[in-house]
Every structure is written in C-alpha cells, then in structure tokens.
Structure 1
C-alpha cells in the first residue's frame, strides 16, 4: 500500500458514538484513530448518515477517504482497501445523500482545494460528474427507468415517484462511490453504483438536441477527455486533461 501498510490508516468519526465508530472501523478493516496527533493523509473520515456539512468539511480537508455511515454489511471495505493501496481519493455515500446534496459541485470543490482539479477544467468536470451521478442514482441504485422529463405534469409525477423510491431504505442506503486520482497527465473521476447495470452501446443520442433530458452520456463524452463504462454499466470513469 502506497505510503505504508494498511494499519497506517485509521478511522476517525467524531460525530459518531464510540460503539458505532468501532463497528464501522471493524467493517472497514481499519483501527479507530487514537487521541494522539496524526496526519490527515492517514485518516479515513466517517460521517454520520446524511451529515452534509461534515461531508463538505471532509472534502476540503486532506483526509485519505470519506465514508458515510450505513447499515451493517453495506460499507465499501474492498473498494476502500483498493483505493488506499493505489493512493486514490474515495468518497462513498448513500444514495439519499448523493442525490439530496449538490454532490458534483461539492466533490469538484474538494478536488480543487486538494490541488487535483485545475480551475480551468472545473466547469467541464462538474457538469460531466453531475450527469454521471444522476445516472448512477436514478437508473442505477433506484432503478427508476425513464428520465427527468420536460413536460411539467410528467415532471411532477416523476418527482413524486422519486420521493417515494427514496423512502425505501434498501434503495436509499445503496452506495454511490466516487473516486479520483491523477495519472498520465489526466484527472480520472470514477462513479460506481450498485444497480442492475445496462448496455452502454444500446444508448443512442437523443433525436432532439435541445432536449433537457436523456443526454447524460452524450454530455459526458463531449465534455470530458474520455469516458469508459465498465462493470456492466455500473461504473463510469471520466478523464480530464490536467
């Protein structure tokens, strides 16, 4: 593992009680951070479920990874281990928080503060990531089908169905995993969901180029320096020249 062994990383989560912090650390396979001084680069910061302010603060810190609290057995232990080994930033959120927070903007601001994202690339990265998160939430974890639509009456019905679906704890606590790293002169941003997947080759650009919906993949392809869809459609990796 880059920078030392796995035990060099520790779990910190000041807003969680000791028992829950210990439970999460054990599930992630890492020790709980002691009370002594430690570098942020060795910290996996765990935030309480739905704690948007804590997520925003953690993104602007130098911590190695951020994991939102979730039910037992749902945390991304294998992905976290791989990310720490490769020196990638991993931010693992529940579907509910990923949807209700302006996640793309906050993630990009965190990358900017960390020196991973040049300001000149911010607009393209944020717009592309926004589309990737919408796809991961709506078509992936929530399995809603269709898309955000232009007709106001249909839009209202869609939003009501979305609210009802997010009330399902099984779907709302599925993970959206964001990771970022720089390699070969490019910033790579990966978005992974736990949905049923899809065949990206079956998605065609919308006939109406002015449509407000159904253009997610096309926007990602145009705005990035590369889009790769893997894991049966569950993972999208965007690249941006830096």
Structure 2
C-alpha cells in the first residue's frame, strides 16, 4: 500500500503553539486549510472540536485526538496517519460520542464518491466493527446474556460504568483506510483491549460469535482478524 504524505496540520480546539511545535518537529506547514487537493491532518482537542461535518471531508484526511497526548505521542500518530489514505485515532469516549462510523463514511465519500447502497453497507459494517472495538475491546464489556429487559439493563449499566472510568474511556480506537487503484476499499479497525481467541475449529471469523461478525462477513468482500482479535481488516469492492 502506498504511503501518502502527511500534508499540513490544522488544530481544532488545540492551542496554536501546540500545533506549531508539532508542525516544526515534522517539517510540515500548519494553520490555514489548503486548497481542495491538499491533505490536512486535524489535531482534535475532543469530540466537540470534531463535531462539524465539514472537518470530515476533503481536504481533511486524518483525525487525531491530541488533547491528552504529549508532543512525542502526537508525532507518532501523525507518522501513522501518513501511512494511510484516511486515518482516525480517537479515545473510546470520543469515538462513541461522535458515532465514528458515519464520520468515516462521510470522509470516504468525499474522497471517492459512493453510491447510496455502498454508503449504507460500509457504514453498517464499520458501525459493527467500531462498536466491537469500543464495547468488547476497549471497555471489555461482554455481550448481552439473553434478550430480556434485565439482560439489557445489566449490559447498559456495565457500559456506563466502564465509560465513566477514565482508564477505559481514554483507550484508543484506530481506523485506517486505503482506497486502492483496483477499486477496493480496505479498512482496519483496531482497539487497545485484551483481545480474544476465537474457537479453534473452523474459520476464526465465523466462530467469533457475539461480535456481529456474521453481519460483517455477509457484506464485506473479505474479513481478517489480526493481533489476537484486536484488529479487524475489512475489504470492500467499490
């Protein structure tokens, strides 16, 4: 996969001197958003700073929640962003608040226009994958045990408790996208959880029950689980 250049940096809610330091370290321009054919890496303070849909379309191509990161960590994230066509690295709390799947699809569509059917399918798959990363990965909450009201209440309470814990809410969700010349979309969604080991018999993806992977595999062209279940790689035909 090709490695796009990082482009320029643009702060959203981030102090200008912070953006300036990072830009100087990386040798990148910062400040004004360039023309439509540019490539902007947005450094976000929080979910509120990322709320405007205009910041999830060309020329923006990467979104890094930098508010709690030191300069060295931001530099690492910008370097990772330069390896993908589109890239997002947000805290669990922010990814959940933003409904990240819809934002990513909006970004993809602005870089390579999608049909309505493609948008719907990709958003549904990314919603499942990102929800898995948030709920089962970073928050380490198991799926509902049954379909009763009590089961739903227990599941909701567990989610709320973990999201209220700064140690869990600050874990990161990473989404990387590549738009290939062959007309494919490749997406990887990664979390910082403990991973999981699918059943040993048969196909690993098919046996990873309780994580919506049956729906993902039914829609996507190809699905792979990597890093002991902490990363999912999904291919779509465009």
TM-score by length of 2: 0.81
Q: Residue 178 of structure 1 contacts residue 192 of structure 1 at CA under 8 Å; is this kept in 2?
A: yes
Q: Pick closer, same or farther for the CA change 1:197–1:117 going to 2, 3 Å.
A: farther
> Residue 121 of structure 2 corresponds to which residue in structure 1?
124
How far has the Cα of 1:2 moved from its partner?
Answer: 4.9
Q: Pick closer, same or farther for the CA change 1:46–1:228 going to 2, 3 Å.
A: same
How far has the Cα of 1:205 moved from its partner?
Answer: 6.8
How far has the Cα of 1:20 moved from its partner?
Answer: 4.0
Q: Residue 12 of structure 1 contacts residue 32 of structure 1 at CA under 8 Å; is this kept in 2?
A: no
Aligned mate of 1:228, from 201, 214, 224: 224
> Residue 203 of structure 2 corresponds to which residue in structure 1?
none
Aligned mate of 1:95, from 92, 105, 108: 92
Deviates more, 1:34-43 or 1:53-62: 34-43
| Partner-residue secondary structure (3-state), 2:90 | strand
How far has the Cα of 1:91 moved from its partner?
Answer: 1.1
Q: Pick closer, same or farther for the CA change 1:179–1:116 going to 2, 3 Å.
A: farther
Q: Pick closer, same or farther for the CA change 1:89–1:205 going to 2, 3 Å.
A: closer
Q: Residue 99 of structure 1 contacts residue 137 of structure 1 at CA under 8 Å; is this kept in 2?
A: yes
> Residue 66 of structure 1 corresponds to which residue in structure 2?
63
> Residue 161 of structure 1 corresponds to which residue in structure 2?
158
How far has the Cα of 1:59 moved from its partner?
Answer: 1.1
How far has the Cα of 1:221 moved from its partner?
Answer: 0.7
> Distance in 2 between the 1:72 and 1:205 partners?
33
Runs of 4+ in 1 over 6 A off after TM superposition: none
Q: Pick closer, same or farther for the CA change 1:226–1:149 going to 2, 3 Å.
A: same
Aligned mate of 1:106, from 98, 103, 107: 103
Q: Pick closer, same or farther for the CA change 1:98–1:149 going to 2, 3 Å.
A: farther
Gaps of 5+ in 1: 207-213
How far has the Cα of 1:42 moved from its partner?
Answer: 3.5
How far has the Cα of 1:47 moved from its partner?
Answer: 1.5
Give the RMSD, CA atoms, in angstroms: 2.9
After superposition, where does 1:195-210 map in structure 2 within 5 Å? 195-201=193-199, 204=207
Please give the per-residue CA displacement for 1:58-84, whole angstroms capped at 9, x wherever unaligned: 212312311123423595654542441
> Residue 14 of structure 2 corresponds to which residue in structure 1?
16
Q: Residue 12 of structure 2 contacts residue 49 of structure 2 at CA under 8 Å; is this kept in 1?
A: no
> Distance in 2 between the 1:171 and 1:109 partners?
27
How many residues are matched? 229
